[in-house]
Structure 1
């Protein structure tokens, strides 16, 4: 404990800015990831019929956001880091990662955690020190990304003008061993969509979660970005978006990546 405290304090002065770390026990409501994420089925079924309409904008928002960043709650949440945080150039040089609830295969259990930049303050949270499989407790403020239905619930561990208290992330151990994460949940295309129509009443519970889809066929490819669409035998469709540094053809691609999207007609087992 003494060593951890020393590390926190050494980060306090960097790049000309002084940061005062605080212990996460001092602030924030203690909640679980599912508590942040669960939305009533009535609201989600309304979204099934209002894709793209402004009237449905807030129906899938976290109850801890309260409809506005000015009303959003500060929370403490625990989970397993699913992928080591990375700085993506197309997301304003933010640290970005996902955690899942520590209960194995817990639905509503995924959450996007990020900082607004990669500054000394952001690094003061220790987000850049995390690795896949780390079990953590993070303090931050809840927000929603996007103004249309199917927006993404997020938690900022640091964001200027929104959540500026630098709270070092608590590292509680590892899921089994370092670098090891829970296995993906197996899902099907109709877990998310009927034909080309997204169905939040089916798919919202998997938001931010690690899943696997089998026995689908690639139906369209964007050769510029590397994203592609696939479908099942019934024609239910999903799309892979090039949101990482590895599975992309765009400028934020990792120099080590050899990824090319599968051609149309490829069957993914």
Structure 2
């Protein structure tokens, strides 16, 4: 089949590596950039550092005896809060697909552990909410005029309640922030760590590889059969030629034996004329075309 420049695609041959690359691109169409496993490896340390910095301000007030303990506890709790969602997502998939033994039990255990750790940090923030109130008070004293105070130098009830409300807003925001980062980590892990989807993708690529191997084996078998057919035909031709040569040789030997038999018979009869007559008959029969 000849393509006279009518369609360029006819001059190109789609290979199995091309099919694999096309399948890989198709598999990535439903996966946004943030659902990549590498994105989670980058975001988890960032989230942990952010949560650890927030927790450090509280731990510093709790562990006044040791500054090192406050650092270790703050960033240790932050790492736990961001790693647990990844484990929870893994066991949730196992529980849904029923591919992990006791997957539902392990899912419930790690969810309970996450809630305990997160609940402890929230309770700690609310217990030390006055530290945010004091910071607001000092900032207010530096940025407001003296008319906001009463004559005896104490704050009125309305100002105290306002400062309390602001401190509670800060505590609430700082309590929600680790939960949001944990939920983001859980969502990324749940989308990117779908074992059934990954197995299907691996099987699709493996199917292409198997098709390639089958094609190679079929081509090898066809080539071998072609060579076998040529060899058989060649052998049959050689056998036929050898058989014809053997037949010719046998016929020639038979003719020689006939002549010798006639000659011997003529001598045995002691009749020279008979010998001549037999020789002439032999020659005439040799010249006659054989009818097969």
Shorter-chain TM-score range: under 0.3
Structure with max Cα Rg: 2
Q: Counting helix residues as a fraction of each chain, which structure ranks higher?
A: 2
Point out which structure has higher relative CO (alpha carbons under 8 A, 6+ apart): 2
When the two structures are superposed, what TM-score results if normalisation uses the length of structure 2? 0.17
